[in-house]
A and B are shown apart, each in its own frame.
Chain A
Amino acid sequence: MNACQDIVLSVEDLRVSFCNEEGKTEVLHGLSYQLPKGKVLAVVGESGCGKTVHALSLLKLLPPGGEITSGNVSYKGENIFALSAEELRKLRGSRISMIFQDPMTSLNPIRTIGSQLTETILAHKACSKLQATARAVRLLKKVGIENARKRLNEYPFQFSGGQRQRIMIAMALCLNPDVLIADEPTTALDVTIQAQILKLIKDLQRQSGMSAVFITHNLAIVADVADEVLVLYGGYCVEQAPVQTLFARPLHPYTQGLLHSLVSLKRKEEHLPAIEGYPPVPGSCLSGCPFAPRCPQATPKCREALPALQEKHGHKVRCWLVK
């Protein structure tokens, strides 16, 4: 994990702000991590915690109003933010690809699935149209779409939500990327299909050494695919640890609360130990720890000053209570 060439994606002090009439609001407050080759990093968090914004900024895809105010993202030692538009275009899709959250709006409604899939392949690879089509058919089969060849000529509206999501996944995987950024890739899917997709991603990771940043709110999926977990809350990284450690010994009260409040298939609970309150609105964070208003163990100090991210044996946590 220490050898420099093994790190495929490295993020340093990434800060993102959004501008509106009321001024600038920082929604991501300095995120840093390193993704080694062949590993899966899960980024866990609730709506508004900055996880999607982080994913979009990795490839400079922030919507208008969004701005990367500081930080660096490098791919195999190369600074992504310093690339020209043309270089960035070559990188996107072929070496780093992304699965977007919303399958309904991410596909072009007036073009067939086949033309959208082969477009990506033809744009990045020197091959014939026939070869590209064959590749598209193989991929659709891999993500579990029946009758793949015939369905290439159909339009997005002829597919169900789950199928569209799988087409998005096929598109992201069609050039065997080194890094896959997946933003809630299975939220819209049924558990059976979800299991299939997760297996596909794990297989690719094993076979071709693909790395992935997996953004999700589902801790069971994290347990399935992740090697390392980063917990985001209110735009801050509050905890980061290898997956086994995080589930066995969560240190941050938020992570602890999340893990306790999960419904279990294994046992029947009478009452769930829920975290009180609601997640913060982006940008609303005042001074102090972002979780302090909901934290059962909060002290006056927690409300006044933001704790630093401290590290011990590869387990990082941002909490005053952890010594």
Chain B
Amino acid sequence: MKILAEINHLFKTYDRGGWLFGKKETKTVLQDVTLHLGEREIVGLVGESGCGKTTLAKVLLGLEPYQRGSVKVNGAELNRLSKADFKRLRRQVQVVFQDPYSSLEPRMTVRQILAEPWDIHGLHKDKAEREQALTALVRAVGLDPLHLNRYPHEFSGGQRQRIAIARALALEPQLLVADEPVSALDVSVQAQILNLLKDISRQRALSMLFISHDFAVARFLCDRIAVMYKGRILEAAPTEELLSNPQHPYTEALLSAVPVPDPKVQKQREPVTHKADAKRRQGPCPYAARCRYYRQEDCAAPQPAPLQDNGHFCACVRMPFKKEKSRYAV
């Protein structure tokens, strides 16, 4: 598989304070992140809020600078792009945000929203041709061409997310970054949007970085899943492998916490809960404070380096590829 986007040993920090009051603090939000996205591959990024999922997406979109490591899309290093090259990158990488209520400009009609990328990039200048392209675009996301002259407030959440997807597709990108695109939608509409994302990614040979906190959603869509915690990738593997054979204690805890929509099963399940132990925070493992398998002698060892290939990576020094199956395996 050809690699489309390549993130290698990425470090990203934010500075806090230091201008007028207080000492300047540096907070590391991404630490040694390595993740490769192949052509036509959908990679899921799963983790709790605040773990750095969205920051990683912003870096990949070129919206945030990074301090160390490299991020390449089609071989071009994002930190070193000129303005013109950056504009070219925009045509390759597009984004769908979580909240379709705040991500669409309320004063623009759907037609203006969808055509704006073309204006910027000088595409479809011919009027008739543009009209044809617009019609094709709205049809592709399951809307009606009659909707083109309406404003975002006239649509429901699900329809708005379709508009946001259409806007992301307008420039025919190779890579789509989708940041929790269904979590703000009604349940009965989520399935529609998930189907749509799956269909368009196949039809248009898209790659996708799909950010989610929901394993079930990630399973439906993704070829591979990476589990993130406190700015680090703790486990990454092909979807079926990760779910049937979770290796990292954190992945296990996450899986145990996902409720199953079946009262017979769910009422028997016991999620892994744990109290954080601040004393363990000093070690190299970010999860040590909450880990139920913690052993001081072992967990002081440095973390294994992320894998370059697409095999099963686990950042735990104790668990990797243990023989017995986890009872939280799916």
Q: How far is the CB of B37 from chain A (nearest CB, A)?
A: 20
Contact B262 A191 (CB under 8 A): no
* Complex: chain B residue closest to A269, CB-CB: B220
A46 partner, pick from B49, B187, B243, beta carbons under 8 A:
B187
**Nearest Cβ on chain B to A228's Cβ, whole angstroms:** 11
CB <8 Å contact, A191 and B216:
no
Partner of B257, one of A191, A247, A269: A191
- Please name all residues of chain A whose beta carbon is closer than 8 Å to the beta carbon of B188 when the two chains form the complex: 46, 254, 257-258, 261, 274-275, 279
Q: Which of B235-271 contact A (CB under 8 A)?
A: 239-240, 243, 253-267, 271
**Alpha-carbon distance between A196 and B272 when the two chains are bound, in angstroms:** 9
Which residue among A191, A198, A269 has the maximum number of chain B CB atoms within 10 Å of its CB?
A191
* Bound Cα distance from A263 to B156, whole angstroms: 22
A side interface size, CB within 8 A:
48
Which residue of A is nearest B270, CB measured?
Answer: A199
Is B50 interfacial (CB 8 A cutoff)? yes
- A residues in contact with B219, CB < 8 Å: 263-265, 268
Contact with B along A274-287 (1 / 0, CB 8 A): 11101101000000
**B266 and A223 form a contact (CB under 8 A):** yes
* Interchain CA distance A196-B271 in the complex, whole Å: 8
A218 within 8 A of B: yes
- Of all chain B residues, which has the CB nearest A246? B263
Distance of A218 Cα from B182 Cα, bound (Å): 13
A226 to B48, CA, bound (A): 25
A265 touches B258 (CB 8 A): yes
CB–CB B266/A199 < 8 A: no
Cα-based distance from A194 to B254 in the complex (angstroms): 11
- Does A312 sit at the interface, judged by CB under 8 A? no
B324 vs chain A, min Cβ distance (A): 21
A219 in the interface (beta carbon within 8 A):
yes
Contacts of B256 in A (CB 8 A): 195
- Cα distance A220–B276 in the bound complex, in angstroms: 26
A20 at the interface (CB under 8 A from B): no
What residue in chain B is nearest A146 (Cβ atoms)?
Answer: B276
Given the known A-B contacts A192-B48, A244-B264, A272-B195, are A261 and B190 also in contact in the complex, defined by CB atoms under 8 Å?
Answer: yes
B299 → A minimal CB distance (Å): 20
Q: Write the chain B residue with the least CB distance to A272.
A: B191
A192 to B213, CA, bound (A): 10
Within the complex, the shortest CB–CB distance from A280 to chain B, in Å, comes to 9
The reply to whether B260 and A272 contact each other, CB–CB distance below 8 Å, is no
B189 touches A194 (CB 8 A): no
Chain B residues lying within 8 Å of A264, measured Cβ to Cβ, are 216, 219, 261
- Residues B261 and A247 in contact, CB atoms below 8 Å apart: yes
Asked if B11 lies at the interface with its beta carbon under 8 angstroms from chain A, I say: no
A272, B259: Cβ atoms closer than 8 Å: no
Across the interface, name the chain A residue whose C-beta is closest to B159. A278
- List residues of chain B with CB within 8 A of the CB of A46: 186-189
Interface membership of B62, Cβ < 8 A: no
For B217, list chain A residues within 8 Å (CB): 263
Also in contact, A160 and B191, with CB within 8 A (given A223-B262, A265-B216): no
Tell me if A243 is interfacial: C-beta within 8 Å of chain B: yes
A259 touches B (CB below 8 Å): yes
**Would you call A266 and B260 a contact (CB within 8 A)?**
yes
Q: A274 touching B156 by the CB < 8 A rule?
A: no
Q: Is there an interface contact between A194 and B257, defined as CB atoms closer than 8 Å?
A: yes
Write the chain A residue with the least CB distance to B182.
A263
User: Complex Cα distance A114/B250, Å?
Assistant: 32
Asked if B273 is at the interface (CB within 8 A of a chain A CB), the reply is yes
What is A's interface to B at a CB cutoff of 8 Å? 46-47, 146, 160-162, 190-196, 198-199, 217-224, 226, 243-244, 247, 254, 257-259, 261-266, 268-269, 271-276, 278-279, 281
Q: A47-B157, A275-B188 are in contact. List 5 more A-B contacts (CB 8 A).
A: A160-B50, A220-B266, A262-B261, A263-B217, A276-B192
A selection of 15 A-B contacts at a CB cut-off of 8 Å is A47-B186, A161-B49, A162-B49, A190-B49, A192-B253, A222-B261, A223-B260, A223-B263, A247-B264, A261-B191, A265-B255, A274-B192, A275-B191, A279-B156, A281-B156
